[in-house]
Amino acid sequence: ANLIDLFEQLKSEHLSITNGLGIKDKWGLNKIKEIFNILEDQFHTNPASNQDFLYDQIVSKGEMLSTLIVSSFLRDQGMENDWLNVKRCIKTNNNYREGIVDWALTQDCIERIVQKSKTNLIVTQGFLGATPENFTTTLGREGSDYTGAIFAHCLEANKYSIWKDVPGVLNGDPRFVNNTQKIEQLSFQQANAMTFYGAKVIHPKTLTPLQQKLIPLEVRSFLKPNQAGTLISAHEVDIEKLPPVIISKKRQTKVRIVRKDELPMNELDLAEIYSAFGKQYLEINLVKSYAFYVDLCVDDKDYKINPIQKELADQFQLNFTKGNFESITFLNYNYDFIKTNLAGKRILLESKSEDLYKVFVECL
């Protein structure tokens, strides 16, 4: 299918949802049409040379459309609410696809705009922000959770709740791990460790603004809304009460970096390599240094890897290996738990300490 056909299909699906819900709210229906007109105009103009910029301007429309549908439906049901364009509140730099929040400006905007709201219910978008020029930015993977944390921080909320398709924070991804257990309580530090190593139920950036204001985070299930979830707070939880945890990151790439002059690696080489990855906000999931090369395990994101390769090209040779790779982290582990969850996987890189075991594996 060509671009216009896909666009018409997308438009048709959204309009069938508004028809199916019987939405009559004229303001909302007009805004939905307006967004589709803007999107169609974008498709008929020459694409921007910055692909990350283009990505953010287009994918952001999904959040705008879905929140307009929800807001309009609620209004039709007699639930007064304000639909808020989050770009008016969350201000970022120009780092498209992973905008960095300007906290002072965001605080000021949220305080001014939310206080003006005439209702107790505001419907807004997650995942999005705006540059100083008012171009749309996205905040990275699972950025909607992060958005809620930004609002909670700026409004000094008593509690922040996020709703998922799981009963709370589990000790593994139930799609890939058998007999997962729900964790009733975690401290901010313990939850931060899990997100740092790639746990997907909470965005890695979500916890920091909450921890700064000691705002508890509750992870609940929208499938079982009356059931208690996981509470994350400043309260320290005894590690003995926690089950072993496995965190898996799929779609990984192995990178071997060698000096072009074939001399041994030194500290300045490592600093330059880490700096290049840092500029692209590409986390190194596992690293092993040897005399003449460094092996890295990173997320398979070409749009980040390509600029890194370009920056390091003068001095280093980067060799990429793609395949059915995973980065796996075990916290609070025992060896039976590790053995069970590494069945059918070949270890390529590993790093071990008393309470942390990290491996880069090939799934056979």
Q: Got the DSSP string for 144-186? A: HHHHHHHHHHHHT-S-EEEEESSSS-BSS-TTTSSS--B--EE
Summarize pLDDT for 13-43 with one digit per residue, the tens: 999 999 999 999 999 999 999 999 999 998 8
Mean pLDDT of all residues in the chain? 93
Measured in whole angstroms, the distance separating CA 320 from the mean position of its chain's CA atoms is 24
- According to the model, what pLDDT value does residue 200 have? 77
Summarize pLDDT for 236-268 with one digit per residue, the tens: 999 888 999 999 999 999 999 999 999 999 999
- According to the model, what pLDDT value does residue 213 have? 97
- According to the model, what pLDDT value does residue 199 have? 81
Under the banding of pLDDT at 50, 70 and 90, the label for residue 336 is: very high
How many C-beta neighbours within 10 Å does residue 338 have? 15
Q: Identify the CA nearest to 186 among candidates 205, 166, 207.
A: 207
Q: Is the pLDDT of residue 163 over 90?
A: yes
Chain position carrying tokens 């905007």? 109
Instruction: Tell me how far apart the alpha carbons of residues 187 and 216 are, in angstroms, rounded to a whole number.
Output: 9
Per-residue pLDDT, averaged over 269-292, amounts to 95
Q: Is the pLDDT of residue 1 over 70?
A: no
Among 98-107, 141-150, 152-161, which is the least confidently predicted range?
141-150
pTM confidence score: 0.82
Summarize pLDDT for 108-156 with one digit per residue, the tens: 999 999 888 889 999 999 999 999 999 999 998 778 999 999 999 999 9
- Residue 297's beta-bridge partner residues? 254, 286
Q: Identify the CA nearest to 57 among candidates 44, 42, 37.
A: 42
Instruction: Tell me how far apart the alpha carbons of residues 146 and 139 are, in angstroms, rounded to a whole number.
Output: 8
Summarize pLDDT for 174-189 with one digit per residue, the tens: 888 888 999 999 999 9
Per-residue pLDDT, averaged over 218-240, amounts to 94
- The better pLDDT of the pair 204, 7 is held by 7
